[in-house]
Amino acid sequence: MSSFVQAVIEFASELGITPLAEGIETEEQRRFLLDKGCPQGQGYLFSRPVSEEEIEHLYREGGDQIKPRI
């Protein structure tokens, strides 16, 4: 599986696309992806699923403080 993930990350990078991983649940997964060159991600490690209304509220209330991270 790790060779497949590495190939997808490399392919995206060669196309000039920043890869984004979905479903990151553990710090180990986050570190693996960073080490392989995937700088962006989402999943339960960062936040539970958020509704469209919650996202809009968060950005209205403090959008400049919301920082994506991986």
Q: Active-site positions?
A: 22
Cα 29 from chain centroid? 11
Beta-carbon contacts of residue 18 (< 8 Å; ≥ 6 apart):
12, 39, 40
| Cα pseudo-dihedral 16, 22, 26, 31, rounded to 10 | 0
